[in-house]
Amino acid sequence: MNTLLISLTTLLLLAVQAQAAITGQQYCNRYMCVTGQHDSDKNLDTYTLQPPSGTNIPVSQFGWIAIGFGNTMINTPMIIAWPNSDGSITLSQRKTNNHVTPIVDSNPPRKATLLSSSSFSNSSTTSITFTVPSNSSTANSTNLIWAYGNKNPGSSSSSTSSLAQHLASGNTQISLLANSLPNTTTTSGNGTSSTSSSPISAGGSSKKVLIAHVACGGIATMAILPIGILVPRISRGLTMQRWWFPVHGALNGLIAFGLIVAAFGIARANFSGGFNSTHRKLGLTLFILSIIQTLLGILTHWWQPKHRLQSKSGRGPVNLLHMILGLVVVGIGFGTVWWGLNDEWARYSGTGKPNVGWKVGWGLVVGITALAYLGGFYLLPRQLRMEKERRQWASNVSNGNGHPTSKFVPTTSNNSSLPPPPPPTHTRPLQPPQTVVNTNSNTSTGYVPPPPPRRLPPRV
């Protein structure tokens, strides 16, 4: 099958070369592709304007698209094209002597003719092809300006329609004498060229790929990460039990991290254009920071050396960094999704702007997460008090030497000569022996012995 395709393509290329009639080149940017073909026999140039490969812009989303023969917007003959709601396509040749809406040029140097057989704009996508007589002195390098506007003129009149300013514009050169037309461009027997619509076949697989990317990234950043940071923030103020840790580590370090890597990998493998937008830059940042953050989380938990920067609670700078970077990661995740919704979806999904409900949903998730996390700080004094009680208890049971073990969560002493501490471990509520608490004398700050655990949790 593959070899058949290759030999067919080769035959086709040979046929084209044998004719030696059609040459040209395609130029693409993030907004549009221009395919320029030159037929030296007929002295005719054919230009196809369409969305970039992988992008579909249906008639309902298409604004206008244009090229001009020159370097700058000023005094360059332009050919502006747009689809109308009835599926017809309007060509309008214009010119301007300033950076304002170009005015109609009723007598352009080269008159363009729409090639209706290869032009269409329907609910799938848009592709517009027209011909112009070749420049009498066709050089290999032709200067072009290009522009794309996302607001349709709304009228099929080539002369009276007003144009909203372009979304993007620029200039480039194409080699009309080059033999580098896209493989899918074919020519018919008598030299009339037609560009097949297959370069813009985003329909099947790439839409699925896009959905996979959105699902992985969206679930990680809008669901798993927020829950993953709320669990420790809230549960640690309510209980000394350590179940939050495996939950937090699994949600953020395994599931969310895995999904972020997947979303990033899918994008890198399938989407062209590099890091050329805010969404893409944020996505890259999110990817890098979540690697660092996961490593920091592992360090925070398993590497608690004693050092002078350590706080009484046993927390070092790594803990603080992990917390701060964690919030940054969550924020960048929200931002990545926002710019994805706002910029990229309309451009690459082929289904236009996302429904406003998605943005409302985004706002709800961000708002609820922020409120719940800030609300969780209300529990912080209680959390710190519980941690302090445990430390005091821990130092008392280790014969009053006043130093908690290197971890702020006391574990069974590894020095067997010491009296074995009572059973409470980090999975149990704090249960200080009554006698120890009563003889505690270094509590000049008015330390109140904790109530028996059965009555926990009291109100803060």
Q: Residue 88: helix, strand or coil by DSSP?
A: coil
Place of tokens 């050092």: 307
CA distance 206 to 347: 13
Instruction: Kindly state the smallest distance separating residue 109's Cβ from ligand NAG, in Å.
Output: 4
Binders of ligand NAG among 166-225, rule CB under 6 A? 175, 177-178, 182-183, 188-190, 192, 197
Beta 179-180 vs 22-28: how paired, if at all?
parallel
Which spans in 188-277 are helix H?
205-219, 225-238, 244-248, 257-270
Examine residue 227 and tell whether it contacts ligand HEM (CB under 6 A). no
User: Taking Cα atoms as reference points, which of 206, 113, 102, 207 lies closest to residue 159?
Assistant: 102
Instruction: Kindly state the smallest distance separating residue 331's Cβ from ligand HEM, in Å.
Output: 10
CA distance 335 to 327: 12
Instruction: Kindly state the smallest distance separating residue 225's Cβ from ligand HEM, in Å.
Output: 5
Give the DSSP H or E segment for 436. helix 434-439
User: Nearer to ligand HEM by C-beta: 23 or 319?
Assistant: 319
- The single residue among 233, 347, 390, 391 that binds ligand HEM, judged by CB under 6 A, is 233
- Residues near 47 by Cβ (< 8 Å), separated by ≥ 6? 34, 35, 36, 37, 67, 79, 129, 130, 131, 132
For residue 177, the partner it binds in ligand NAG, ligand HEM, none, with Cβ less than 5 to 8 A by kind, is: ligand NAG
Instruction: Kindly state the smallest distance separating residue 117's Cβ from ligand NAG, in Å.
Output: 7
CA distance 146 to 128: 14
Binders of ligand HEM among 167-226, rule CB under 6 A? 225
- Kindly indicate which of the ranges 131-139, 140-148, 227-235, 412-420 contains the residues binding ligand HEM, using the contact rule CB under 6 A: 227-235
Binders of ligand NAG among 105-124, rule CB under 6 A? 109-110, 120, 122-124
Binding characters for ligand HEM, 293-312, by CB under 6 A (x = yes):
xx--xx-xx-----------
User: Taking Cα atoms as reference points, which of 354, 346, 355 lies closest to residue 51?
Assistant: 346
Residue 354: is the preceding peptide bond cis (ω within 30°)? Answer: no
Chain centroid, CA 411 distance in Å:
43
User: Nearer to ligand NAG by C-beta: 140 or 442?
Assistant: 140
User: Nearer to ligand HEM by C-beta: 245 or 338?
Assistant: 245
The packing angle between helices 225-238 and 356-376, to 10°, is 20
- Kindly indicate which of the ranges 56-64, 278-286, 320-328, 425-433 contains the residues binding ligand HEM, using the contact rule CB under 6 A: 320-328
User: Nearer to ligand HEM by C-beta: 229 or 397?
Assistant: 229
Note the residues at the interface with ligand HEM (CB under 6 A).
225, 229, 232-233, 236, 245, 248-249, 252-253, 256-257, 290, 293-294, 297-298, 300-301, 315, 319, 322-323, 326-327, 329-330
The site for ligand NAG (CB under 6 A) is made up of: 9, 69, 109-110, 120, 122-124, 135, 137, 139-140, 175, 177-178, 182-183, 188-190, 192, 197
